[in-house]
Amino acid sequence: AQSVTQPDIHITVSEGASLELRCNYSYGATPYLFWYVQSPGQGLQLLLKYFSGDTLVQGIKGFEAEFKRSQSSFNLRKPSVHWSDAAEYFCAVGAGDYKLSFGAGTTVTVRA
């Protein structure tokens, strides 16, 4: 079965600084990969997804992620964070059976 690890539980970043959230997955074949964001008291919103093709994926809100098969990673990046990016971020992996496995999440705090 597939699984996801998000090594960082909490990250604090200054407004305007760059952000990178790590995600490592375990799956034998090419996975379906997702990043979701959850603002306090809200549901999960899809940021971006990777199924195949170009390994650098652009998403909403200025986020991008890069699929690296050799490292089994799908890290999320943003060049310049805004205070509104403070939220919890979840990486998820699918194996083609329409079910997703989610990581434990990374909470991002943005300081002024």
Partner 1 sequence: DAGVIQSPRHEVTEMGQEVTLRCKPISGHNSLFWYRQTMMRGLELLIYFNNNVPIDDSGMPEDRFSAKMPNASFSTLKIQPSEPRDSAVYFCASSPPESETQYFGPGTRLLVL
For partner 1, the binding residues (CB under 8 A) are: 32, 34, 36, 42-46, 49, 51, 90, 94, 96, 98-100, 102-105
Between 34 and 74, CB nearer to partner 1? 34
- Kindly tell me which of 93 and 110 has the beta carbon lying closer to partner 1: 93
- Which residue's entry shows tokens 């986020």? 63
Contact present, 37 and 44 (Cβ < 8 Å): yes
- Residue 109, helix vs strand vs coil: strand
Q: Exposed, middle or buried: residue 95 (CB in 10 Å: 0-12, 13-18, 19+)?
A: middle
- The three-state secondary structure class of 67 is strand
Give the residue with the Cβ less far from partner 1, 54 or 112: 54
CB of 44 to partner 1, least distance (A): 4
Rounded to a whole number of angstroms, the minimum distance from the CB of residue 53 to partner 1 is: 15
